[in-house]
Each structure stands twice: as structure tokens, then as C-alpha cells.
Amino acid sequence: MFLPTSLATILVLASIVALGPLSTDMYLPSLPRLTTELNASIDQVQITLSIFFAGFAVAQLVYGPLADRFGRKSILLAGLALFTTASFGCATATTIEELIVFRFLQALGACGGPVLGRTMIRDIYGPTQSARVLSMMGTIMALAPAIAPIIGGYMLFVFNWSAIFIFLGAYGAIVTLIITFKIQESLQPENVNSLNPLIIMRNYGELLRSRIFLGYTLCCSFTFSGLFSFLSGSSFVLIDFFGVPEANYGFYFTAVVLGYMVGTQLSQRLGSRYGINKMLVIGTLLASSAGISMLAASLLELHHLYWVIGCQVFFMMAVGMVMPQAMAGAMGPFSKMAGTASALLGFTQSAIAAVVGLIVGHSHTGTPTIMAASIALMGTLAFLSYLIIIKPISINTAAQR
């Protein structure tokens, strides 16, 4: 067994938190091709993305209470088994309807990774150190989405889109074996919660009444939804509008992910010095500015590939600064129901992203404008969430001291 505080444990937990990004980013280059190979419309292909996040959102509400009652490891292994099976199911799909169904099942299994990975970090490191470790883990797991579209693009070039899901199924199987034999249970006996529905609803109610939880959760959710706006629209914008070859799409996506890695590094190095709230105000302001800059250029019809990528790099830098800090801030005060808090945070994040993805896909006009408008709106809403909800709380807390 790996020691709970070892780098090996962090790497394994990063690998399961990365299940969501891997399951979306690796097959992004194939989206335009799926419209012809499965005889589907752009809207239908976009549903394979949004349905994933819908399933991701709903299942998290179940994973959290189950993990608080039965422990993190057993529930995580059950989720990984479903993810692995559904990934192979996606590979065998012959119609867009079959792919949508298997993507939903894949999401139900995959969402256990982020929910329980974050929760286990909170269990092991507590409310103070978890932001630093989540930032470090974010840097590590960013390697996956950085190379995933490149791998997906070349798999698409050499094989076909189904090979991508075979790879994901094999990844799930390997991670399942490692967790089975190398990762310890992190839930302490004194923190075990009841599965009584009334207690579960009471816990969710307590979280929803907490301005601290809601403020941090909305900051996290809106910045993530800005990222998802790019995921939903980028393959069509880059490949169809700007003419980027499918095999090269991943390199542009990697440049964007590098911005995220820079942001997580800043979060890790500066977060302990300046605190969660200062990192959030800088990050959300940067996200809003980057999105508005992309939108302004598109509205003026100044369409340039490198301007779109450059703005998204800065937006992703903001995502890397905001999300680890906001997650730690949302979960910090709730040690006795960390799984439930992580689940509700993840549900909110995924639900908003799923709706945003559907809107971007349905409204796509063939230009970057809709994607850019969504990114700008999400960045601005994240900044307003800090300004309206979190800042007044921090001012009142400081005054009381």
C-alpha cells in the first residue's frame, strides 16, 4: 500500500480526477467526423458531450452520501468498473443514439473519480493544506488533457474514433487494479454518516444555505463552464472554420492546457501567501477579461486563430488559479460531510457546464462568436460571484476580528 501522504498516492488520485477531462478531451478531434460516420447532425454530436456532463452531475449527488457512509475506496471501485465497461460500449456503438447512451453510462462511472479524489485529498490533508495539494494535483493531471487531444488526433488518423474509447477502457481497467491493491481507505470511522434520506437532505440543505459554500461553488462552476464552452465549440471552430487539420488540433489544445498548468502553479506557489480570496479575485478578473477580449474580436470580425487561442490560454490560466482555491474554500468548513460537499460542488459545476454546452452546440453559427460569448459570460459571472457573495463575507469576517 502507498502511504496516504506520498507522491504516489497524489499521482493515483490525480489519475482518477483526470477521468472527466480524458473522457472529453481525447475524442474532441473526432467530433466533426462523427457527423458523417454516424450520419448525425452537429447538435446530436454535441449531445455526446453534454449528456456526459449531465450524467456526471446527477451521479455525484449519489456518490457523495454513499462515500460518506461506506467509505471512499469501495464506491470508487464500483464507479471505475462502470466507466471501464461503458468505455468499451462506446467503442462498439454503431449509431449516434447508442453512443449517447453509452456516454451517459460512462459519465455515471467516471464522476466517482473527481468526487472521491477531491474528498480523499480533503480527508488526508485537511482544510488548510488541501488547496495547496489540489493545486499541485491540478498541475500533474493537466498533463492528461494536454496530451489527450494529440493522442486522440493521431488515433483518428491511424485507426478510427472507436480506438479512442478502447484506450479509455484500458486506462480505467489499469487504474482500477492500482487502487485495489495500492490505495488505502481515507474515511475515518468517526466521520461515517448515516444513509438516512432525512439526514442526507439535511446535509444538502445545510450546504445550500451556506453563503460560503455557494459563493466558492459558483466561482468554480462558472470558470469550469467557460472551459466547457471552449470544449464544446473549439473542434468545430478550429477544424471547420479555421481549417486546422484533425491531427494538429491537439497541439493547439495543448497550448491552452499549458495556460492551465501555469495557473495551477501560481495557485500552488502564491495561494498560501495571499490566501484563497485574493487568488480568486485575480483569477476571476483575468477570466472575465480574456473572454471579453475574445468576444470583442469576433464581433468586430477580426477572426484570427492565434487570437482565439491566446485569449483561451489566459482564460485557462485563470481556471488553474480559481478552481483549486474555490474547491478548497467550498469544502473546507465541512469535514464531517466532505463527500457530500464535494458531490454537490461537482453536481453544480457539471450541471451548469452541461446546459452551457447544449446552448453552444445548438447556437453554433460556424464562427467563433457563440463560443466566445459563452466564455465571456462565464468569466464575468465568476467574477460577480466573488464580488457579490464571497467578498462581503470576507469583509464581515475581518471586521469581527
Whether residue 357 lies inside any domain: the answer is yes
> Cβ of 189: how many Cβ atoms within 10 Å?
6
Q: What is the pLDDT of residue 239?
A: 85
Whether residue 332 lies inside any domain: the answer is yes
Residues 6+ apart with CB under 8 A from 72: 116, 119, 120, 123, 185, 186, 187, 339
Q: Residue 31 sits in which domain range? A: 7-183+197-390
Residues 6+ apart with CB under 8 A from 113: 16, 17, 18, 19, 20, 76, 79, 80, 83
Q: What is the pLDDT of residue 142?
A: 66
| Alpha-carbon span 135 to 143, nearest angstrom | 13
Whether residue 310 lies inside any domain: the answer is yes
Whether residue 83 lies inside any domain: the answer is yes
Q: What is the DSSP letter of 336?
A: G
Helix, strand, or coil (residue 184): coil
Whether residue 342 lies inside any domain: the answer is yes
Q: How many domains does the chain have?
A: 1
Look-up of cell digits 493547439: 252
Residues 6+ apart with CB under 8 A from 140: 10, 11, 14
Whether residue 396 lies inside any domain: the answer is no
Whether residue 191 lies inside any domain: the answer is no
CATH code for the domain of 38: 1.20.1250.20
Buried b (16+ CB within 10 A) or exposed e, 64-92: bbbbbbbbbbebbbbbbebbbbbbbbbbe
Whether residue 312 lies inside any domain: the answer is yes
Q: What is the pLDDT of residue 265?
A: 83
Rounded to two decimals, the pTM is 0.73
Predicted confidence pLDDT, tens digits, the chain (401 residues): 888 888 888 888 888 888 887 888 788 788 888 888 888 887 788 888 878 878 888 888 888 778 878 888 999 999 999 999 999 999 999 999 999 999 999 999 998 888 788 788 878 887 667 767 877 776 666 677 677 777 888 888 888 889 999 999 999 999 999 999 999 888 777 666 666 777 778 888 889 888 889 999 999 999 999 988 997 788 888 888 898 887 788 788 788 888 988 888 888 777 767 778 888 999 999 999 999 999 999 999 888 999 999 999 999 999 999 988 898 888 777 767 777 787 788 888 878 887 888 788 778 777 899 999 999 999 999 999 999 998 887 655 444 43
